[in-house]
Amino acid sequence: MADDNIITQLSIFVNNEPGRLAYISSVLKDCGINMKAFNLAESTEFGILRAIVEDPDMAFDLLKSKGIIVKKTDVIGVVIDDTPGSLFQAADILGRAGINIEYGYAYSRKTAAAFFIRVDDPQKAVEILKASGIRLIFDSEI
């Protein structure tokens, strides 16, 4: 059963070399792919550009057609206040339920803030967070 609170994230592999991020960015631009939130993580040989985009299925197909290694991953978008302790509430609820947060990244603007997280059980996490009164981002809001 699909849940509108589970968001498809793209993980785009970027070789760790000069100009490679610029190339990936140009492909995104040329394909009309707008990133709503992203994080760039690195290792010695490659980076992973994790991105929330408007139409992840189309973006996935376009990037693959350009020879770019890309993977789809389920994440959850948790609405958080832009105040001290707001991350604690959601993290504490998930931790007490035995759900591991594998990684996350946030974005903030004047009217809202969100924390996108990869967890080991997305469906259970959605149910627990909703039951606790935590507002989640709907896929349709991306």
Confidence band, pLDDT 50/70/90 cuts, at residue 2: low
Rounded distance between C-alpha atoms, residue 1 and residue 126, angstroms: 13
**Residues 55/9, Cβ–Cβ less than 8 Å:** no
104 is written with which tokens? 């996350």
* Average pLDDT over all residues of the chain: 89
Domains (range + CATH), the chain: 8-73 (3.30.2130.10), 74-141 (3.30.2130.10)
Confidence band, pLDDT 50/70/90 cuts, at residue 106: confident
The predicted-structure confidence for 49-63, as pLDDT tens digits, reads as follows 999 998 899 999 999
Confidence band, pLDDT 50/70/90 cuts, at residue 92: very high
pLDDT at 36 exceeding the cut of 80:
yes
Residue corresponding to tokens 């589970």: 6
What's the average model confidence in pLDDT over 43-50? 86
For 25-64, give the secondary structure using H, E and C: HHHHHHCCCCEEEEEEEECCCEEEEEEEECCHHHHHHHHH
What letters, b where the CB count within 10 A reaches 16 and e where it falls short, cover 94-110? beebebebeebbbeeee
The predicted-structure confidence for 63-89, as pLDDT tens digits, reads as follows 999 999 999 999 999 998 878 888 899
What's the average model confidence in pLDDT over 109-132? 88
6 or 42: which leads in pLDDT: 6
pTM for the whole structure: 0.83
What letters, b where the CB count within 10 A reaches 16 and e where it falls short, cover 121-136? ebeebbebbeeeebeb
Please give the span between the terminal C-alpha atoms of the chain, in angstroms, as a whole number: 20
Per cent of the chain over pLDDT 90 is: 61
pLDDT at 1 exceeding the cut of 50:
no
32 is written with which tokens? 């009309």
Sheet holding 46-53, edge to edge: 35-42, 46-53, 6-15, 70-80, 113-119, 101-108
